[in-house]
Structure 1
């Protein structure tokens, strides 16, 4: 499906956030958030379908992606979890959205989960890729089982100067490799990847990505203005809003576990749905299942 929404901009304190809007401006708001290394194209089949039902649908470009730009050259090009959440809050405030339904995966899912945990009054409901996405940074130095560590090779690559240079020189090829490794059974990688790849040409892409993967392991300091939020996140706060977790059974970076280890983090209505034949790029690989999850929450 072709996307025909015009790019619009929300001038927030830190960023000029680019987003695509679908549907009537008076509709109940739904905000759709992509991950790394993805783009709003992940929601090409979902946003128009929600708009057709009368919802106001906003699909954002995260910091470091597409036409989104920092307002000042002096702002830390942070990719830390608190920055992503603050961007989402700032977007909602700038667009005068008091409460929205949120759907996100990977980085976007992290932003959505944090806002749902710390500002539940702003979140009508939540569809999250892979459950509870808040990073437990104080525990990040503990090694995981070797198979999991192997899947995280790219994170350790980004911890090195060589990885920074590799991402800078080979961003298209490297991100395409991640698409293939993370969605190993999806037939449309080669067809869909070129639609998202231009979003990685953002001048801040490399800095934001590298900071994200260093900060989560305490290898890079965070933005001092966000330290209060990171401190709150060390408590691993519960999520109380109505939530559906979508997990790809074929996810090459974080395969769905047999037992839902995140269930205890959700204190409100909660359901986990494991999607057979689906990898990491959940909304783009499984648009019907993603749309159904959003509508099940909105219409319940």
Structure 2
């Protein structure tokens, strides 16, 4: 696995790379890093893909965007720009987790770029919206609202970013050792400007004066509300407190996805099944890419 750099949208992106073949672009979430894909990358490389996992805009060692913009539309532009800059074609596959999921749902509307799409732990917008705006949803995702406050940087940064330890404990299954993930996440967010950038993702996407209004819904629907144009695998963890995924939820998700799509709950995984249950998640992703699901 090598570390390389490439400039897209005036941002110097650092990225991990492994393997040769069609591009597999892997986008991480918060408070994560490309290390989230440390098990999937060699599996994809072994299956004949060129696996590339960038650090998101503002996450060190990638640089901050010169215009200071951190909207979902910006992340979609990064995904599409990386596809082009890395020489991707119609055989490329796209994988997103957590905060990158909306960007992947949006980028996946362009069927000329991607052959298949994988989204981990976040449903499509028509399912996401109603689930977030429930008592359980607002409680489980309380960090969305806390990050809007002026004191958030101070609290999250305290005691060597101990807040990140807490958030990993909350969103992973009991007994998961997040030491490796936390090391990389803290390195990416330790500098004040990088932490501010990460919080800006939430402040831009969920502004308290607009979140949930008809204008907000219309804006986000235009960016990532349409269904993907290629078969999509949507995975969740049975122990993830973010969303209560039932058989009815899976059916609702599949109703909005193209033919050949699949949605499944990984038993025993929390919100980061990619590292909590890597063997099972890798198996599902590779079978999906091979057309076996």
TM-score higher than 0.5: yes
Structure 2: distance between partners of 1:253 and 1:218: 19
Structure 1: distance between partners of 2:113 and 2:187: 32
Gaps in structure 2 of 5+ consecutive residues: 211-215
1:66 to 50, 60, 65: 60
SS in 1 for 2:117: strand
Structure 1: distance between partners of 2:289 and 2:127: 30
Map 1:114-133 to 2 at 5 A: 114-117=106-109, 119-130=110-121, 132-133=123-124
Moved more, 199-208 or 173-182: 199-208
1:45 to 2:39 alignment: yes
2:22 to 6, 21, 28: 28
1:196 to 185, 209, 213: 185
1:217 to 2:213 alignment: no
Counterpart for residue 287 of structure 2: 296
> Is the 1:65–1:202 contact (alpha carbons within 8 Å) kept by the matching residues of 2?
no
Gaps in structure 1 of 5+ consecutive residues: 222-226
> Per-residue deviation at 1:231?
6.4
> Is the 1:132–1:265 contact (alpha carbons within 8 Å) kept by the matching residues of 2?
no
1:154 to 2:169 alignment: no
Structure 1: distance between partners of 2:6 and 2:209: 28
2:256 to 250, 256, 265: 265
> Is the 1:114–1:134 contact (alpha carbons within 8 Å) kept by the matching residues of 2?
no
> Is the 2:32–2:181 contact (alpha carbons within 8 Å) kept by the matching residues of 1?
no
Query: Structure 1 residues 39, 186: CA separation in 2 closer, same or farther (over 3 Å shift)?
Result: farther
> Is the 1:247–1:275 contact (alpha carbons within 8 Å) kept by the matching residues of 2?
yes
> Per-residue deviation at 1:16?
0.8
> Per-residue deviation at 1:23?
1.0
SS in 2 for 1:120: coil
Counterpart for residue 213 of structure 2: none
SS in 2 for 1:194: helix
Query: Structure 1 residues 186, 105: CA separation in 2 closer, same or farther (over 3 Å shift)?
Result: farther
Map 1:86-235 to 2 at 5 A: 86-99=77-90, 100-117=92-109, 119-130=110-121, 132-134=123-125, 144-169=133-158, 172-190=161-179, 192-219=181-208, 230=219, 233=222
> Per-residue deviation at 1:216?
2.4
1:16 to 2:12 alignment: yes
SS in 2 for 1:247: strand
Query: Aligned-residue CA RMSD in angstroms?
Result: 2.8
1:236 to 2:225 alignment: yes
> Is the 1:19–1:59 contact (alpha carbons within 8 Å) kept by the matching residues of 2?
yes
Counterpart for residue 224 of structure 1: none
> Is the 1:136–1:233 contact (alpha carbons within 8 Å) kept by the matching residues of 2?
no
SS in 1 for 2:99: helix
Structure 1 residues 205-226: Cα deviation after superposition (integer angstroms, max 9, x where no partner):
32223222222233489xxxxx
